[in-house]
Structure 1
Amino acid sequence: MTAIKIGDKIPGFSLPDQNGMVADMKNFIGESNIVLFFYPKDDTPGCTREACSFRDHYEDFADAGAEVFGISGQSVGSHKNFAEKHNLNYKLLSDEGNKVRKLFGVPSSFFGLMPGRVTYVADRTGKVVYIFNSQTNVKEHVDKALQVLGNVK
């Protein structure tokens, strides 16, 4: 498993969102900056704080010309319940089997027992310009991504 690094292009992938609609990354490259945040599990305390922070700053991301996507291994139905419960206003992508997580090389934490929490910011060309990896500093995923987007053309 080779991890995606700054300067790499986002790999091509498509996953269903919380409404069962397929989101294909190739449709967003060239159109907007992209923020992908991989999180461990729907409706856990840290993941809920992170997801709601992305929700609360959604307009800031839109103003920066960015599309936001949350990605984890739960089902479309789980994502739908999570999104509705917390009024999430962006796409949650269902990566059952963690194929995309593996494609990005997102590390596990806590001795490999928990899927990692990593945020990737890519510019309009699909080039990764920033990566933030922290299991516990959930608010920083949003803060750092917005800070970086302020410097992306």
Structure 2
Amino acid sequence: MALKVGDRIPEILGVNQYGEEVKTKDLAGKKLVLYFYPKDNTPGCTAEACSLRDGYERLRAAGYEVIGVSKDSVKSHQKFIEKQDLPFQLIADTDTTLNQVFGVWAEKKMAGRTYMGTLRTTFLIDENGIVEKIIDKVDTKQHAEQILDDKLR
């Protein structure tokens, strides 16, 4: 069952790069950019993370906190954050629980091969933990702009 616009996000989102539990109550009063991506240190995922890094201060000025989610491990997230100088948390959803709750864990195809993987998707969540918008056509190189431009319309 996938979350949709108007749904409340779960109370516990998962474990971040420090092994700490990320809870929605700790984000109360903040809008949230919760972005799901397939894999640390791959070209598209790095471009997306760097776009959000480069636009981070503008996103914060617009009232957003940014959190990324992939099925990579805590250790992988630590290395990715360090290598790309990311100023935001990454959730290690190693068992894909959060991916499944948000409906982004799905069958994918590449080079004639079928496999399960994360659909690159971003959820914009209001101060009360309610999904406001879902971006499923992510522009990895301009993702921060894509979010900010949409909010300015």
Class of the TM-score when normalised by the shorter of the 2 chains: 0.7 to 0.9
Out of 134, 142, 145, the residue aligned to residue 143 of structure 1 is 145
Deviations 1:59-112 (A, max 9, x none): 011101111000000110000000000000000111111000001111433354
Query: Unpaired runs of 5+ in structure 1?
Result: none
Per the alignment, residue 127 of structure 2 pairs with: 124
Q: Distance in 2 between matches of 1:113 and 1:22?
A: 25
CA positional deviation for 1:130: 0.8
Query: Unpaired runs of 5+ in structure 2?
Result: none
8 Å contact from structure 1 (residues 10, 128) kept in 2: yes
Secondary structure at the counterpart of residue 34 of structure 1: strand
8 Å contact from structure 1 (residues 39, 71) kept in 2: yes
Q: Distance in 1 between matches of 2:95 and 2:85?
A: 26
What is the correspondence of 1:107-122 to structure 2 with a 5 Å cutoff? 107-108=105-106, 109-110=108-109, 111-122=114-125
8 Å contact from structure 1 (residues 13, 100) kept in 2: no
Out of 20, 26, 34, the residue aligned to residue 32 of structure 2 is 34
Secondary structure at the counterpart of residue 20 of structure 1: coil
TM-score normalised by L of structure 2? 0.88
8 Å contact from structure 1 (residues 33, 123) kept in 2: yes
Secondary structure at the counterpart of residue 82 of structure 2: helix
Secondary structure at the counterpart of residue 22 of structure 2: strand
Per the alignment, residue 68 of structure 1 pairs with: 66
Deviations 1:31-71 (A, max 9, x none): 20011000000000000000010000000111011110000
Q: Which has the higher strand share?
A: 2
Cα RMSD after superposing both structures: 1.8
Q: Distance in 2 between matches of 1:141 and 1:107?
A: 20
**1:123 maps to amino acid:** D
Q: Percent identity?
A: 39
**1:33 maps to amino acid:** K
Structure 1 residues 147 and 123: alpha-carbon distance in aligned structure 2, compared to 1, 3 A threshold = farther
**2:13 maps to amino acid:** S
8 Å contact from structure 1 (residues 4, 105) kept in 2: yes
Structure 1 residues 94 and 57: alpha-carbon distance in aligned structure 2, compared to 1, 3 A threshold = same
Per the alignment, residue 3 of structure 2 pairs with: 4
Number of equivalent positions: 148
CA positional deviation for 1:140: 4.8
TM-score normalised by L of structure 1? 0.88
Secondary structure at the counterpart of residue 144 of structure 1: helix
**2:2 maps to amino acid:** A
